[in-house]
Amino acid sequence: PFADDLAVLVEGDSRAEIEKVGKAVVKHIVERCSAIKLEVSESKTVGIFVKKPKVVGSKAVKINRKDCRKGGARNLKIELGGKSISFEQSVRYLGVHFDANLGISAHCKYLREKLVPLFSDLRKLAQCQWGLGHKALETIYKGVFVPTVCYASARWYKEGAHTDRILEDLHRQILIAITRCYRSTSYEAACVLAGTLPICIQLRVSVAKYHLRKGEDAEIGGVVIRRRPEGLKENYNRVLEVANEMWQARWEASEQGNATRELFFPDVVARVKSDWIRPDHFTSQVLTGHGYYNEKLHQLSLAKAAACICCGEPDNNLHFLLECPAFAEFRDELITPVSGGLEAPEATLMLVSSPEGFAALKEYSRVAFECKRQLENALTESDEGLSSESEE
C-alpha cells in the first residue's frame, strides 16, 4: 500500500477458487478499514484478470482473454458494497498502468493521451514568427515531459525494440513541437536539434539513478557503475557520460539525419553544451535540410522539379546557405564575416560554434527565406500572366 492505494493479488487454479478467495479478501479488507474509520471506494476499485502463459514445448504463449473458449470471457464476480467489482483490460496502480499480460502497452498509451494534446496546444502558441520561444518550450519539456515519462521507470521500463519504438514515436511528436521543425525530420535529427537524449536512453539514465539512490550498483549500456556512498554526484556524472557515449554511437550509426550530422552537429555532447542554439521555424530548416527546398519537396512529390528557381542548381539547405546567388547580399553581410569565406563543413560548423555565429545564421535564415518566398511568388505571378496572354 502507498497513501490510499492498495493492490491485492489473488491466485487460484480455477475461476471458482479465485472468486471464493477474492470475496474473503475483500470482506477482510472492508472490516479492517471500518475498524479504523476508513471506507473503501467502490467506484475506484477495479480488477484485472491475469492468466498464466500457456506453455507449448519450452515456449510460453500469452493468452488473449477474448480468444478463450467457454467461460474464458466472463468476468470474475466479486462484490464490494453490494456491487460487482469492475474488471478492466488495464489498471492503474501508483501512477503506472498495466494490461492483462502485465505489460506496459497501456502505460505507453496513457502517456500519449496525456502528453501529446498538451504539446499540441503549446505548438499553437509557438507559431513560426510569434508566440512561445524555444527557451519556454524547453523549460516545459524538462519540467513536464521528462518527469512524467520517467516516473517510476525503474518499475515499468524494460528495454525492448517494441517498447522503444512506441516511446520514440511519442517523443518525436513532442520534439517537433519544441524545435518547430518539419514533420519529415527524422527522430535522430530531432533529438540532436533539440539537444536532448533519445527517450530510451533517458529512461535508462533514470533507472540507473534510481538504483544508485537506493545504495545499489547500476548498469547502463553494459557498463556497471559501483555505488559509492560519498560520491553520488560522481556516480550520476558517470551515468550521464555513458549515456552520451551511447547517444554518440547511435548518432554515428544512424542512416538518417545526414545533413544535420555532417554539416552542423557531428558531436552530440558539443551540441548539448551549445546552449545558445535555440531553433526556430527558419533555422530548423537549415539545420535539418527538411523544409522549403525544392530538392526535398520534389522527393515528397510536392514540387515539380528539384532545381533552385533562381539559378537551376539542386535546391537544398547547403545551396540555400552558401551558394545561391539570389541571397549573396545577405550572405556577405551575415554569413561570410563568421565563416571567413570557408566552404562546408568548416563554414557550417563555425555558424553553430558560438552565440555570434548562431545569431548570424538565425537572421540570415529569416531574411533569406522571406526573400525566397517573394521571388517564388513573383515568378508564379509572371508565369500566370504569360499563360493568360497566350490564351488571349
72 contacts: CB under 8 Å, gap ≥ 6? 65
Task: Return the pLDDT at 94.
Answer: 85
Q: What does DSSP say about strands 46-47 and 86-87: parallel, antiparallel, or unpaired?
A: parallel
Distance CA 195, CA 277 (A): 9
Q: Identify the three-state secondary structure at position 312.
A: coil
The residue extents of the domains of the chain are 15-98, 104-255, 282-391
What kind and span of H or E run contains 361?
helix 355-391
The one-digit pLDDT tens for each residue of the chain (392 residues) are 445 788 888 888 888 898 899 999 999 999 998 898 888 888 888 888 887 766 555 555 454 555 444 445 577 888 888 888 888 888 888 888 888 877 788 898 899 898 988 887 776 765 555 567 778 888 889 999 999 999 999 989 988 888 899 999 999 999 998 898 999 999 999 999 999 999 999 999 999 999 999 999 999 999 999 988 778 899 999 999 999 999 999 999 999 999 999 999 999 999 999 999 999 999 999 999 999 999 999 999 998 899 998 889 999 999 999 999 999 999 999 999 999 889 999 999 999 999 999 999 999 999 999 999 999 888 877 655 555 545 55
Task: Return the pLDDT at 131.
Answer: 61
Beta bridge partners of residue 54, listed in sequence order? 61
What kind and span of H or E run contains 136?
helix 134-140
258 contacts: CB under 8 Å, gap ≥ 6? 289
What kind and span of H or E run contains 60?
strand 59-61
Contact of 352 with 273, CB cutoff 8 Å: no
Task: Return the pLDDT at 67.
Answer: 46
Nearest alpha-carbon partner for 177 in 203, 151, 147, 140: 140
Distance CA 334, CA 329 (A): 9
Give the DSSP per-residue string, 223-283.
EEE---TT-HHHHHHHHHHHHHHHHHHHHHH-SS-HHHHHHT-S-HHHHHH-TT----HHH
Q: Identify the three-state secondary structure at position 90.
A: strand
Task: Return the pLDDT at 3.
Answer: 56
Q: Which residues of 165-189 are buried (b: 16+ CB within 10 A; e: fewer)?
A: ebbbebbbbbbbbbbbbbeebbbbb
Q: Compute the radius of gyration of the chain from its Cα atoms.
A: 28
Contact of 320 with 297, CB cutoff 8 Å: no
